[in-house]
Chains A and B, each alone.
Chain A
Amino acid sequence: MIPALEIDHLHKSFAGTAAVDDLSLTIEPGEIFGLLGPNGAGKSTTINMISGVCRIDRGTVRIFGHDAERDYRLTRRLVGVMHQEIVTDHFFTIDRALKIHAGYYGVPGDDAWRKLLIERLGLGDHLHKSMNKLSGGLKRRFMVAKALIHKPQLLILDEPTAGVDVELRRALWQFVREMNQAGTTVLLTTHYLEEAEQMCDRIAIMSGGKLVALERTADLLARLDNRSLLLHLDTPLDQVPAALEALHGQLEENGRLLRISLAGDVVIGEVLQLLAQLNLPIRDLELPRPGLEEVFLDLTGLQLKDRKGNP
């Protein structure tokens, strides 16, 4: 099967500093693919090279088998991109702007499709408003509609839900899922890691312009070998019981929380038996599931949520 997107040894520098460094990855048709990384990781530059906003220094980008530079007139029709920066044309209303964008892609007006996008993205009440009268969230929803107006085969969403309220965020992801089920391949970046965990079939993590991980989402999460058992205690302990030292027991919150490492070959049943024998004043216990945040931290040493000060 021809890949939806094939990036081969892609390289881009700005003023001598590599923004994307020897990046290679493949996205299969029908996938929802997540591209994550901290600020400056090279995600947006990669998206810009795929969509044609950015010139490619070295390497190739192939979209459904076609070279994105040589066959750009074809590949750009196959791609719909929503960029991270909010950009709108203040001269036009939402309705007019959507018609203009369909025309840019050589697609004759499809009223039914335009109306569907307007309805599903909650733009109906704002159709005849000028762009400069729209809130940030509305502009972002308009940008999603704009990216989809020519019915692309590959949809690229760069932080589509930033500044969008929870209800609409859920509706947007539901719509993206439906688009995907109808055959659209999706490449997305997001600040919300739980969204990436829920939405993506596979996830690539970039750091410093390089690819540091590319796996199925479940495999990526399973890679993490530092699960812990958290014990909430009724009465605080002064020191970790000697029997738990082998499990790297640690006291937190003034002795009210005992953290036990489950790394390696530790069998949780044996740990529970040991705890019963120790007769500790346990009020509650927690087995937190490691998330992408931990995977990300493990791979890059950087916190995703610290990026740009955004949530």
Chain B
Amino acid sequence: MIDRLRQQRRFIPWLPFATLLQKEVRRFLRVSFQTLLTPIVTASLYLFVFGATLGQHISVLEGFSYAQFVVPGLILMGVINNSFANTSSSLFISRYLGNIVDLLVTPLTPPQVILAYTLAAMLRGLLVGTVVLIISCFFAELPFVSPWAAAAMAALASFLFAQFGLIAAIYANSFDALSMYNNFLILPLIYLGGVFYPISILPPFWARLSHFNPMLYLIDGFRHAILGVGDLPLSTAFAVAGLIAAALFGWAAVLLGSGYKLRL
């Protein structure tokens, strides 16, 4: 019986990657209240406050209501937060519980691991972004001047923050340390990166300083693609965001390739 069943089956080279991707998607779907519903509710509250109430009395961009201005930023905020949360929490929990060894002993290559974690994170981020976009239709009418550019920027933002999530999960030594990345780095950068105001209304010094905030290029680029106007040329936004994403991917690849803090 064992003899017969023990016969080897053909190795399918793409299967380890596809399995890890599937497992990562199942993981966030299994706790969908926390991973999908909560961020959607949060974003909806923002939409209500800035779209249906406060937003009716403010205008920061000529020709557009505040609701129209703020919605692209809120959508991208959902994409960014959830892409980061997915890779960072999944990899850190694996390290914390020790089940990361289940991956280390498999034939998965470091690029396959990065790509599987990244695609699952992008899927979660873009799912949240899409639902927020649908809900936002009740609060603001968006012109969608360059829909493909908007989709590309959203994908680039989720890719970039999925890489950052992997890096944070490797460096963090505790849940507390991991939450620091979110609370003291991502959140301030998002809030100061032009979600709620255009940098053109800032005093010159603060406007110049904002150019060092990578979030500005993502948020402004996404808004530019949707509304047709922005603080920066669309090409600049894509170039800077693309360079940062490539650098973070390289960083994550070096960490996972060397097994830093993963292998003993």
Q: Which positions 20-37 of chain B face chain A at CB distance < 8 Å?
A: 20, 22-23, 26-27, 30-31
Task: State whether the Cβ of A83 lies closer than 8 Å to any Cβ in chain B.
Answer: yes
Verify A184–B107 contact, CB threshold 8 A. Answer: no
> Can you pick out 26 interface pairs between chain A and chain B where the beta carbons lie within 8 Å of each other?
A51-B104, A53-B101, A53-B263, A54-B264, A55-B259, A77-B11, A77-B107, A91-B27, A100-B19, A100-B22, A100-B23, A101-B102, A103-B15, A103-B18, A104-B20, A105-B106, A105-B107, A106-B12, A107-B12, A107-B15, A112-B5, A116-B2, A151-B8, A179-B2, A182-B6, A184-B6
Task: State whether the Cβ of A81 lies closer than 8 Å to any Cβ in chain B.
Answer: yes
Q: How far is the CB of B36 from chain A (nearest CB, A)?
A: 15
Q: Which residues of the other chain, A, contact B109 by a CB distance below 8 angstroms?
A: 73
Task: State whether the Cβ of A48 lies closer than 8 Å to any Cβ in chain B.
Answer: yes
Of the candidates A92, A107, A113, which one forms a contact with B5 in the assembled complex, judged by CB atoms under 8 Å apart? A113
Q: A100-B23, A103-B19, A104-B102 in contact; A53/B10 too (CB < 8 A)? A: no
Verify B106–A76 contact, CB threshold 8 A. Answer: yes
Inter-chain CB contacts under 8 Å: number: 108
Task: State whether the Cβ of A90 lies closer than 8 Å to any Cβ in chain B.
Answer: yes
Task: State whether the Cβ of A241 lies closer than 8 Å to any Cβ in chain B.
Answer: no
- Interface size class, chain B: 35 or more
Please name 5 further chain A to chain B contacts, defined as beta carbons within 8 Å, in addition to the given A103-B22, A108-B15, sorted by A numbering.
A53-B105, A89-B99, A89-B102, A107-B15, A151-B9
- Interface size class, chain A: 35 or more
Q: Which positions 84-104 of chain A face chain B at CB distance < 8 Å?
A: 85, 87-92, 96, 100-101, 103-104
Verify A87–B107 contact, CB threshold 8 A. Answer: no
Of the candidates A45, A48, A81, A87, which one forms a contact with B97 in the assembled complex, judged by CB atoms under 8 Å apart? A87
Residues of A within 8 A of B (CB): 14, 45, 48, 51-55, 72-74, 76-77, 79, 81, 83, 85, 87-92, 96, 100-101, 103-108, 110, 112-113, 116, 146, 151, 178-179, 182-184
Q: How far is the CB of B84 from chain A (nearest CB, A)?
A: 19
Task: State whether the Cβ of B62 lies closer than 8 Å to any Cβ in chain A.
Answer: no
Instruction: Provide the bound-state CA to CA distance between A106 and B263, in Å.
Output: 22
Verify B2–A52 contact, CB threshold 8 A. Answer: no
Verify B107–A183 contact, CB threshold 8 A. Answer: no
Residues of B within 8 A of A (CB): 1-3, 5-13, 15-16, 18-20, 22-23, 26-27, 30-31, 94, 97-99, 101-109, 259, 263-264
Q: Which residues of the other chain, A, contact B102 by a CB distance below 8 angstroms?
A: 87, 89, 101, 104, 146
Verify B16–A182 contact, CB threshold 8 A. Answer: no
Q: How far is the CB of B132 from chain A (nearest CB, A)?
A: 25
Verify B99–A104 contact, CB threshold 8 A. Answer: no
Q: Which residues of the other chain, A, contact B107 by a CB distance below 8 angstroms?
A: 72-74, 76-77, 104-106
Complex: chain B residue closest to A102, CB-CB: B19
Verify B11–A48 contact, CB threshold 8 A. Answer: no
